[in-house]
Amino acid sequence: MKLTGKVAIVTGAASGMGKAIAQLFAAEGAKVVVSDLNVDNASKVVDEITSNGGTALAIAANVAKEDDVQRLVDATVAEYGTLDILINNAGIMDNFVPAGDLTDELWERVFAVNTTGPMRTIRKSLPIFLEKNGGVIVNIASAGGLNGSRAGAAYTAAKHAVVGLTKNVGFQYAPKGIRCNAIAPGGVETNIAASMTAPNPFGAERAMIGMQLNPRVGKPEEIAKVALFLASDDASFVNGTVVTADAGWTAY
């Protein structure tokens, strides 16, 4: 097993990619904190993990709230003694709203979850990693963080910011034994679309132009395997970069 004895936090882990990552990490020997706004579903994931012989704990947390981030990491350390792996998976969509129709409220809400949330969890985790001269961070970015129109303006900008944050943290803390990488998934079967209410017609039309080029939609388990690689010692020489997992969609 690749993560024996490690402690991992996975945000947005009640469903989709986060759930798949939490389950795979637990199967690989990690003690996993399943964090999500929906603590009931997070608890169901914990039940599945423990029924399969794994170790997991559900903690309700909204990564857009500093108090929740503080409590999440503190509770993890109180329960398991340390933190080794941070997976920033929690995210929301933006209804494909183009720049001309953006409101401050939508911009700030998308950035609060998709960018400020990862910054806060990283900021809170770094003192733990620095003390033991080791730690791994994996941010779930997006193909929208590498290209211009896989979503609306807010989501696109927020995920580009996650890519920049990843590279900055990866390089600056490399001498301290800390690695920070990101995954840029293409289309994956998750429930993130539930965070959309009424897609903007113009923005959706422009974003969907490239869908005909998408070779296929991925499974959450396929992203989880990439996260496992980056979180494990197999990726010891991989730092400050983005791994694209999209069946070749963005290669065109």
List, for residues 124-182, the tens digit of each pLDDT value.
Answer: 999 999 999 999 999 999 999 999 999 999 999 999 999 999 999 999 999 999 999 99
Beta carbons within 8 Å of 71's beta carbon, 6+ residues apart = 59, 61
- The structure's pTM equals 0.97
Q: Encoding tokens for residue 105? A: 């409220």
155 part of the active site: yes
Measured distance CA(84)–CA(178) in Å, rounded? 10
Predicted pLDDT at 204? 93
Predicted pLDDT at 198? 87
Question: Does residue 27 lie in a domain region?
Answer: yes
Can you give the CATH number for the domain in which 82 is found? Answer: 3.40.50.720
Question: Does residue 1 lie in a domain region?
Answer: no
Find the helix or strand (DSSP H, E) in which 35 lies: strand 31-36
Predicted pLDDT at 196? 73
Closest-CA residue to 181 (of 118, 132, 120, 128): 118
**The total number of residues written for the chain in this structure:** 252
Domain hosting 236: range is 7-251
Question: Does residue 182 lie in a domain region?
Answer: yes
Determine which one of 80, 155, 173, 252 is catalytic.
Answer: 155
Question: Does residue 152 lie in a domain region?
Answer: yes
Mean pLDDT of 59-77: 98
Contact (Cβ atoms closer than 8 angstroms) between residue 209 and residue 186:
no
By the 10 Å C-beta count (0-12 exposed, 13-18 middle, 19+ buried), 131 is classed as: exposed
| pLDDT single digits (tens) 48-63 | 999 999 999 999 999 9
Question: Does residue 68 lie in a domain region?
Answer: yes
Question: Does residue 107 lie in a domain region?
Answer: yes
Question: Does residue 36 lie in a domain region?
Answer: yes
Does residue 193 carry a pLDDT above 80?
no
The total domain count for the chain is 1
Measured distance CA(192)–CA(136) in Å, rounded? 25
At what angle are helices 16-27 and 220-231 packed, to 10 degrees? Answer: 50
Q: Please give the mean pLDDT across all residues of the chain.
A: 96
Question: Does residue 2 lie in a domain region?
Answer: no
